[in-house]
């Protein structure tokens, strides 16, 4: 038998208890031995109903790591208390499972070194994409592959908001309120809609795919705050949907690592990933391209991923050949966004005068940027400005930024050029 100490009794913690209680026999059989939750700690545990017998309760989460448990499960979130807790547990010779993406993305380098020094297990399947087993896929199923790229929809909040703007014709603010009312977005949604949650996740995937130190501080991050209803409509006219994606790929001796909105063509399967669902596409040099789809968040999905790690821990504890950590630490250059290439969606407001289209196209041509598709719409009712929408050829990002600056400076254009990358099916 091994004992589990649980830190955190929020949505995931409660679902985990329910899951273990309901399926304890099956989980124990998969572990090859009995399991039990021996201690639960939460700062407000006295206010929470705990439907489990013979379990020690505490309001001090650090008391768990000093108990006689074999495995500590950290579900309190954040990077302050959680980091101290996890380090203390590992230094005490205890293995750890966490659903804390920020902890792994920002402090993974330190933690991976520590678990190797102490020869303990660290599981974090629940940190990325909930019920999608992408961590195990990369560390087990694809560990002998050269990973060319990983891309996908990895934040359910952003995906839900953009889906509402697409399918329900809601503006951004109304879609955000809907997400908050349904519990898909926090009262302060910045972490999700600003792209930071996705950046944590793509950092973890980059570490696993390429054995590198955490690239989080170098990830190019864009959120969805600048996406307007008109962009949704114009993209649809051109045969695209707007999604928020994370991408990491091997570019010769460097790595690209970025999160941002993209236009995805309707023919691409990722364009059909709607609501709060997640999907991750992995491309390898031998197996080609595969995609995993499922619930990326929520108490049940996250708890299920934690249970998967509990079973992995039992294999580690029983001294099987399960690999519990990668050989991290490679120093590889992370490309600056200005050095990357893509096709681009440009939305330009111009005065309703002759020759303005010629001025715009001439400016683009001066930077060797050609136009793959273009639409011009009726003047806006308020300002009598003409929206011009273009899809460019495959071009350097810095050139697009320079061309956009020049276009904004033209006499007959008005305001900022809205720039959105177009997703490359080869990525």
Distance CA 363, CA 350 (A): 14
Task: Return all residues near 206 (Cβ < 8 A) that are at least 6 apart.
Answer: 150, 212, 215, 248, 255, 257
Residue 228 DSSP one-character state: -
- Contact indicator for 219, 203 with CB cutoff of 8 Å: yes
Scanning 66-189, the segments in alpha helix (DSSP H) are 81-91, 101-118, 134-136, 156-167, 172-181
CB neighbour class for 342 (10 Å; exposed up to 12, middle 13-18, buried from 19)? buried
Give which of 99, 13, 7 is closest to 57, Cα–Cα.
7
Contact between residue 192 and residue 161 where contact means Cβ atoms under 8 Å apart:
no
DSSP-derived secondary structure for 10-62: SHHHHHHHHHHHHTHHHHHHHHTS-EEEEEEE-TTGGGS----SS-EEES-TH
90 Cβ neighbours under 8 A, 6+ residues apart: 96, 111, 114, 115, 118, 120, 122
Write down the residue that tokens 């989460």 correspond to: 61
Q: 316-320 long-range contacts, Cβ below 8 Å, gap at least 24?
A: 316/95, 316/121, 317/2, 317/70, 317/95, 317/121, 318/32, 318/33
Name the catalytic one among 94, 101, 170, 201: 201
Segment holding 334, helix H or strand E: strand 333-334
Asked if residues 58 and 40 have their Cβ atoms less than 8 Å apart, the reply is yes
Query: Which DSSP letter does residue 425 get?
Result: T
**Under 8 Å between Cβ of 213 and 109:** yes
Torsion 95-301-271-224 (CA) sign: negative
**What is the signed CA dihedral for 124, 327, 191, 420, rounded to 10 degrees?**
-130
Is 201 marked active-site?
A: yes
Looking at residue 272, what DSSP letter applies? Answer: G
Residues with a known catalytic role: 201
């Amino acid at each position: 038998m091994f004992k589990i100490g649980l830190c955190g009794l929020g949505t995931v913690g409660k679902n985990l208890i329910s899951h273990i209680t309901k399926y304890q026999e099956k989980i124990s059989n998969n572990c090859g031995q009995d399991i039990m939750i021996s201690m639960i700690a939460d700062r407000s545990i006295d206010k929470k109903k705990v439907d489990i017998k013979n379990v020690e309760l505490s309001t001090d989460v650090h008391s768990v790591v000093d108990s006689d448990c074999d495995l500590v499960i950290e579900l309190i979130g954040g990077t302050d208390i959680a980091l101290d807790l996890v380090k203390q547990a590992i230094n005490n010779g205890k293995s750890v499972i966490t659903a804390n993406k920020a902890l792994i993305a920002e402090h993974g380098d330190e933690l991976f070194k520590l678990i190797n020094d102490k020869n303990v297990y660290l599981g974090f399947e629940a940190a990325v994409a909930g019920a999608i087993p992408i961590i195990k896929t990369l560390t087990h199923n694809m560990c002998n592959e050269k990973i060319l790229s990983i891309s996908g929809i990895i934040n359910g909040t952003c995906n839900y908001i953009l889906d509402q703007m697409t399918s329900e014709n809601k503006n951004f603010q109304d879609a955000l309120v809907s997400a908050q009312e349904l519990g898909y977005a926090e009262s302060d949604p910045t972490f999700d809609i600003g792209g930071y949650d996705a950046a944590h996740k793509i950092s973890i995937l980059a570490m696993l795919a390429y054995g590198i130190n955490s690239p989080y501080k170098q990830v190019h991050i864009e959120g969805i705050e600048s996406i307007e209803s008109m962009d949704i409509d114009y993209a649809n006219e051109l045969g695209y949907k707007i999604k928020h994606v994370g991408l990491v790929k091997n570019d010769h001796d460097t790595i690209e690592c970025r999160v941002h909105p993209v236009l995805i063509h309707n023919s691409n399967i990722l364009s059909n990933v709607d609501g709060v669902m997640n999907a991750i596409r992995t491309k390898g040099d031998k197996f080609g391209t595969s995609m995993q789809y499922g619930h990326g968040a929520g108490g049940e999905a996250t708890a299920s991923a934690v249970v998967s790690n509990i079973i992995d821990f039992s294999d580690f504890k029983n001294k099987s050949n399960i690999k519990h950590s990668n050989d991290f630490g490679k120093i590889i250059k992370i490309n600056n966004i200005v050095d990357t290439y893509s096709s681009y969606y440009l939305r330009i407001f111009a005065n309703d005068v002759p020759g303005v289209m010629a001025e715009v196209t001439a400016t683009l041509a001066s930077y060797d940027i050609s136009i793959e598709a273009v639409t011009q719409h009726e003047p806006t009712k308020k300002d009598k400005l003409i929206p011009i929408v273009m899809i460019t050829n495959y071009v350097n990002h810095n050139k697009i930024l320079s061309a956009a600056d020049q276009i904004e400076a033209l006499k007959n254009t008005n305001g900022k050029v809205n720039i959105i990358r177009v997703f490359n099916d080869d990525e």
